[in-house]
């Protein structure tokens, strides 16, 4: 995949962090960055939360119960975040690298597919339905926003989590869409191992080197 000229990127592990403060920090980072600001990848897990995209329709939130719903400024419909899910926010200056959002989305999807392949799981992408699927079930979601030519928000990859909250919504706005996770196909999978492999593939495909 022809992506960008080799560039450095900063990797930050945020651990288990509440959604809204991280979202606000992404907004602030994007607003304050300039053409010399190094790109960053933020890796995080969130406590249970539903997030609703800008064009999100309330009809896709069926029965949220005690889980909060946050209206956010990304694309797409409603999704769920919870512990046991890898979330990565790529804060990348598309304008500086002279690439479009579609190329970035394709690169992220390819990194997810390669990571799963290494762990013995076949996955694929779908036209007009960003994300990654296996056995016709969604295993990873994408939702990005571009501001000032720079991306924020990102991907969510289900590893070993409670999937019940996905039954309370129409995931990504698709009625009847089933959701799955990596541990259902590879029971020995380790969360930290998947994190490392996914970052490796993201950097290989996007042509980034982690700044030490």
Question: Known catalytic residues?
Answer: 172
With a CB cutoff of 8 Å and minimum separation 6, the contacts of 203 are: 9, 209, 210
Residue 155 CA to residue 175 CA, distance in Å, equals: 21
The DSSP bridge pattern shows strands 85-91 and 137-147 to be unpaired
CA angle 91, 101, 35 (to 5 degrees): 45
The DSSP bridge pattern shows strands 69-71 and 49-52 to be parallel
Q: How far is CA 161 from CA 1, 59, 136, 143, 182, in A?
A: 32, 25, 19, 20, 10
DSSP 75: S
Residue 178 half-sphere exposure toward CB, CA atoms < 13 A = 6
Residue 186 CA to residue 175 CA, distance in Å, equals: 27
């Amino acid at each position: 995949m022809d992506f960008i000229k080799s560039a450095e990127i900063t990797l930050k592990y945020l651990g288990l962090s509440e959604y809204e403060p991280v979202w606000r920090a992404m907004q602030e980072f994007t607003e304050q960055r300039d053409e010399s600001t190094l790109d960053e990848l933020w890796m995080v897990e969130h406590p249970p939360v539903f997030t609703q995209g800008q064009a999100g329709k309330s009809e896709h939130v069926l029965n949220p119960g005690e889980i909060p719903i946050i209206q956010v400024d990304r694309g797409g419909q409603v999704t769920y975040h919870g512990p046991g899910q890898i979330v990565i926010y790529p804060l990348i200056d598309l304008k500086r690298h002279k690439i479009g959002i579609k190329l970035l989305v394709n690169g992220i999807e390819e990194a997810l597919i390669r990571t799963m392949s290494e762990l013995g799981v076949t996955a694929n992408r779908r036209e007009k339905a960003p994300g990654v699927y296996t056995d016709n079930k969604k295993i990873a979601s994408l939702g990005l926003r571009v501001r000032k030519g720079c991306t924020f928000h990102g991907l969510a990859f289900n590893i070993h989590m409670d999937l019940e909250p996905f039954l309370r919504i129409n995931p990504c706005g698709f009625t009847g869409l089933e959701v799955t996770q990596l541990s259902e196909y590879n029971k020995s999978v380790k969360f930290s191992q998947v994190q490392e492999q996914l970052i490796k593939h993201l950097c290989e495909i996007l042509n980034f080197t982690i700044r030490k």
